[in-house]
């Protein structure tokens, strides 16, 4: 090894765990965005990239930046629309997937899209941050690569930034290692150790958080102040059947739209005490945010949409805190 930018035993331990969870070989990075960059940065001039119109805003911003420098054709699609996405894959270099999407929680038909991509010779990569490998394993469903922001559910305690690429393909693995070594987007060994400790309780945290989320989603759907609830675990959600078929659980993220619009959404985010207003997610503590407060959030995300990241607290405490902050 010789030098810690190329590798060290603490990363190797974390990479072994991530590789076993996703069913591939993992390369750890200093953040989720560093992992995303390791996949997007090697794309050639004039690359054609198919991407969900609703996705992590940093990924979309990076694609815009690389795209304008290198004349990419970035095709933004409704990733839940399999026919539209399949048609956009014609001539593409890369299919980028988020499912469920951030923050709209749309569910893509993963087996169908990965198999179409393979048939057309299009590479595919899934950002599996929201699902975690316990709920969904895109490599087994046919993806060439998976990226993670370990910052969220995997590390789980809102105290580190970390990312990873996981793949079964030697070419992708070697490209990711080379990218990390030469660009220097390396994780700190202490962060890697903290993430390893967090992952030990992932199954317990995820079980509890998504159990809480299921209960809260039902109650929110029945509340007069809430116009719409997006959560794949709800029987009436457009993504429910797909999520039930390809996921082991429905996750811990819920998005709601307030019937009374932006003012009610901002009031909600200001008026809770257990729920923390914060932009990160996937920690043991519950957080909420009106996404359109950020100018770079997609304009097709409704103004009043509040994204809830459900933690592991007592569900009745969480509900009481939301209820007192929602308009009557
Ligand atoms: C947070 C997030 C990222 C970026 O991860 P960082 O660790 O903050 O760099 C990428 N994708 C998704 C879905 C995320 O939620």
| Ligand 1 pocket: which of 35, 40, 56 to mutate (most atoms within 8 A of CB) | 56
CA of 324 to the centre of ligand 1 (A): 31
Of all protein residues, whose CA lies closest to atom 8 belonging to ligand 1?
32
CA of residue 59 to ligand 1 center, whole Å = 8
Pocket test for ligand 1, best of 30, 58, 195 (most atoms within 8 A of CB): 58
Q: Which atom of ligand 1 is nearest to the CA of 130?
A: 13
Give residue-wise pLDDT tens across range 25-42: 999 999 999 999 999 999
pLDDT at 126 over 70: yes
Give, using CA atoms, the residue closest to atom 4 of ligand 1. 32
Q: What is the pLDDT of residues 145-196, one digit of tens each?
A: 999 999 999 999 999 999 999 999 999 999 999 999 999 999 999 999 999 9
Q: With contact defined as beta carbons under 8 Å apart, do 154 and 37 qualify?
A: no
pTM: predicted TM-score of the whole model, two decimal places: 0.97
Gap between the Cα atoms of 254 and 232, Å rounded:
9
Helices (H), the chain: 9-22, 32-40, 57-70, 82-88, 110-119, 132-135, 170-183, 189-199, 202-221, 240-246, 262-271, 315-325
The total of other beta-carbon atoms located within 10 Å of residue 77's CB is: 19
Which has the closest alpha carbon to 118: 136, 92, 137, 99?
92
Q: Is 161 in the pocket of ligand 1 (CB under 6 A)?
A: yes
The pLDDT value recorded for residue 296 is 86
Q: Which of 3-7, 46-50, 98-102, 145-149 has the lowest mean pLDDT?
A: 3-7
Residue 127 in contact with ligand 1 by CB distance below 6 A: yes
Q: Tell me the catalytic residues.
A: 5, 56, 127, 152
Nearest CA to ligand 1 atom 12: 56
Looking only at the bridges linking them, the beta strands covering 94-98 and 123-127 are: parallel
**DSSP letter (8 states) at residue 275:** S
| Digit-coded pLDDT (tens) for 211-231 | 999 999 999 999 999 999 999
pLDDT tens digits, one per residue of 272-311? 999 999 999 999 999 999 999 999 899 999 999 999 999 9
Q: Whose CA is nearest to atom 1 of ligand 1?
A: 149
When pLDDT is cut at 50, 70 and 90, the band that residue 323 belongs to is very high
Higher pLDDT, 121 or 1: 121
CA of 56 to the centre of ligand 1 (A): 7
Instruction: Give every strand in the sheet of 48-52, ordered side by side.
Output: 25-29, 163-167, 145-149, 123-127, 94-98, 48-52, 73-77
Mean pLDDT of the chain: 97
**For ligand 1, is residue 287 a contact (CB within 6 Å)?**
no
Ligand 1 contacts CB of residue 96 (under 6 A): no
Integer Cα distance of 280 and 291 in angstroms:
11
- Collapsing DSSP to helix, strand or coil, 278 comes out as coil
Query: In whole angstroms, what is the distance from residue 289 CA to residue 279 CA?
Result: 6
Give, for ligand 1, the residue of 101, 104, 129 to mutate: max count of ligand atoms closer than 8 Å to Cβ: 129
149 CB near ligand 1 (under 6 Å): yes
């Amino acid at each position: 090894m010789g030098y810690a930018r190329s590798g060290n035993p603490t990363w190797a331990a974390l990479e072994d765990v991530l590789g076993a969870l996703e069913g591939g070989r993992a390369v750890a990075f200093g953040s989720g965005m560093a992992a995303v960059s390791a996949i997007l940065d090697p794309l050639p001039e004039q690359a054609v990239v198919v991407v969900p119109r609703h996705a992590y805003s940093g990924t979309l911003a990076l694609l815009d930046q690389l795209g304008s420098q290198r004349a990419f054709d970035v095709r933004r699609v409704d990733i839940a629309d399999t026919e539209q996405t399949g048609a956009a894959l014609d001539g593409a270099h890369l299919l980028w997937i988020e499912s469920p999407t951030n923050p709209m929680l749309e569910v893509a038909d993963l087996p169908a899209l990965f198999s179409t991509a393979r048939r057309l010779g299009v590479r595919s990569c899934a950002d599996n941050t929201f699902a975690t490998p316990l709920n969904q394993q895109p490599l087994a469903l046919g993806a060439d690569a998976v990226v993670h922001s370990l910052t969220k559910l995997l590390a789980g305690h809102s105290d580190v930034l970390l990312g990873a690429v996981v793949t079964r393909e030697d070419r992708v693995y070697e490209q990711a290692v080379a990218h990390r070594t030469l660009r220097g987007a390396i994780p700190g060994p202490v962060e890697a150790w903290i993430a390893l400790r967090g992952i030990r309780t992932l199954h317990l945290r995820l079980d509890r958080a998504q159990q809480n989320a299921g209960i809260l989603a039902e109650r929110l759907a029945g509340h007069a102040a809430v116009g719409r609830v997006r959560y794949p675990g709800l029987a009436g959600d457009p993504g429910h059947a797909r999520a039930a078929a390809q996921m082991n659980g429905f996750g811990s993220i819920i998005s709601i739209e307030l019937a009374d619009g932006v003012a009610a959404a901002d009031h909600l985010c200001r008026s809770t005490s257990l729920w923390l207003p914060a932009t990160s997610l996937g920690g043991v503590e519950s957080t909420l945010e009106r996404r359109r407060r950020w100018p770079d959030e997609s304009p097709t995300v409704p103004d009043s949409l509040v994204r809830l990241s459900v933690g592991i607290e007592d569900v009745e405490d969480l509900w009481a805190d939301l209820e007192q902050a929602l308009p009557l």
